Amino acid sequence: MPNLTKLFISSVAQDALTPLRNRTFEEFTLLGHQPEMYERTFGPWPMDISGVEHCLNMVRESDIFCLFLYNKGGSMTDTGYTVTHREFLSALNAGKTLFLYAEPTITKKYFMSVRRVMYSFIERFKQSHRREPSNRELMDYLELTAEAQPSDIPSKYEVDLYIWVMLYDIIDRHGKYLLDMPIWE
């Protein structure tokens, strides 16, 4: 019997991503593999472990990690990272094959303006504090910048500020490339 490839489907629980998540699950199943998705295969978690740890364990048990990013950052954990970001880091640290996708207008905005603003702040922060800013410090700065008029940072009501933090980590800290998210209907 052939070995099944396990694909972990990761994203924020966001209605806009539901059709894409479901289609990914169904297509991978049709190919004869084993997709893992909270709503379909492994939730809710066992009583003896937190939901976040259960998700991270499922990431580590998978062969491929597939991430979809849109305009929501997700649930923050006490580590200063969202659950989805922790899933990405777990997959990266475990050497999983990564399929990383983002909605094209989000990555375009990141490369056209947000990235420059973040780089400038991070460099100033490192010079004055002798360390990189935390995710919370980055988000606080981005929020203040977004509220200033005019601003190159979209409002937190349009795009969660944590999306920019996660893109910075994926692209600039870890050197990973995100493909344009497939069109869904």
Q: What is the pLDDT of residue 41?
A: 83
For residues 107-116, average pLDDT: 96
Residue 165 CB neighbour total at 10 angstroms: 24
pLDDT at 26 over 80: yes
pTM comes to 0.92
Query: Measured between alpha carbons, how far is 60 from 8 in angstroms, rounded to an integer?
Result: 9
Does 101 have pLDDT greater than 80?
yes
Range of weakest confidence among 1-5, 60-64, 165-169, 171-175: 1-5
Residue 8 burial by CB count (10 A; 0-12/13-18/19+): exposed, middle or buried?
buried
Q: How confident is the model at residue 23 (pLDDT cuts 50, 70, 90)?
A: very high
Residue 152 and residue 171 in contact, taking contact as beta carbons nearer than 8 Å: no
Residue 1 pLDDT > 60: no
Q: Is residue 150 scored above 90 in pLDDT?
A: no
Task: Locate all alpha helices (DSSP H) within the chain, ordered by sequence.
Answer: 18-30, 51-61, 83-93, 104-109, 115-129, 135-147, 161-167
Q: Give the single-character DSSP code of 82.
A: B
pLDDT (average), residues 121-150:
94
pLDDT at 185 over 60: no
Mean pLDDT value across residues 67-96:
95
pLDDT score of 43 more than 80: no
Q: What is the predicted pLDDT for the residue at 2? A: 66
What order of strands is seen across the sheet that includes strand 64-69? 34-36, 6-11, 64-69, 97-102, 179-180
Query: What is the 3 state secondary structure string of 121-159?
Result: HHHHHHHHHCCCCCHHHHHHHHHHHHHCCCCCCCCCCCC
Q: For a pLDDT cut of 90, what percent of the chain falls above it?
A: 80
Q: What is the pLDDT of residues 46-64, one digit of tens each?
A: 667 788 898 999 999 999 9
State the pLDDT at residue 106: 95
Tell me the mean pLDDT in the region 155-159.
93
Q: What does the pLDDT read at residue 85?
A: 97
